[in-house]
Structure 1
Amino acid sequence: MEAQIYNIDSNTYEIKFEESEYPIDSINSLIEELPDNSPRFIILSYPFESKDGRKVNPLIFIYWRPSTSKQDNKMLFAGCLDLFKDQVSASKFIEIVDEEEFEDLVDQIMQ
């Protein structure tokens, strides 16, 4: 698994890749990198074997929108969501509001 996290600069409205100090190679490491009170866009590559035995590696777009985010941050990310989603062309889109929802992430990816 590999993940990239993106933030929006509130001054320039530019979507920027956030460098991580450590590789994001598990769901737990992804959760650790995410802020508790600010939205982020996440691009996730999650290889797995399908039920019929094929190896698949879908590109997943996750919209992290914690309920504790300030309203202006939520509006900023919501305004850029469709543009970013179109540029990514991911296989699946998942919106997560609560950190506990990450527990079901693998199940959502494999559906």
Structure 2
Amino acid sequence: MEDLADELPESSPRFILLSYPLTLGSGRLTVPYVLLYWLPENCNPTSRMTYAGAVELMRSTAEVNRVIEVHEEDDITSIESKLQGAD
């Protein structure tokens, strides 16, 4: 996750489709398929509005059940706990 956080642009929003294997507290292996919506604080308003309008279209096209909005690199590095349901 740290490599992914390092690759993200500092001022442009992005959609990231993530399939991440993890082991739940019960010991069961799961591979959730989620959409990460990277929306950095310092992106310009036009880009922000364009991406905000496309979130639902991207979610339905990719057929993901969960969209997680991330604003900082720390949100990306802590994504495993969010995927395990510890929002």
Question: Which contiguous aligned blocks of 4+ residues in structure 1 show a shift greater than 6 angstroms?
Answer: none
Structure number, greater radius of gyration: 1
SS at match of 1:30: helix
Structure 1 counterpart of 2:6: 32
Superposition deviation, residue 78 in structure 1: 0.8
| 1:85 match | 59
- Structure in which a larger fraction of residues adopt strand: 1
Residue 77 of structure 1 aligns to a residue whose secondary structure is helix
Query: What is the identity percentage for the equivalent residue pairs of Structure 1 and Structure 2?
Result: 31
Q: Is the 8 A contact 1:39 1:69 kept in 2?
A: yes
- For residues 74-95 of structure 1, give each alpha carbon's deviation from its aligned partner in whole angstroms, at most 9, with x where no partner exists: 0110111110011112242110
**5+ unaligned residues in a row in structure 2: which ranges?**
none
Q: Which residue of 2 aligns with 1:18?
A: none
Q: Find the partner of 2:45 among 54, 61, 71.
A: 71
TM-score between the two structures when normalised by the length of structure 1: 0.71
Higher relative contact order (CA 8 A, sep 6+): 2
Question: Structure 1 CA distance, aligned partners of 2:19 and 2:71?
Answer: 20
Q: Name structure 1 gaps, 5 residues minimum.
A: 1-26
- Corresponding pairs, count: 85
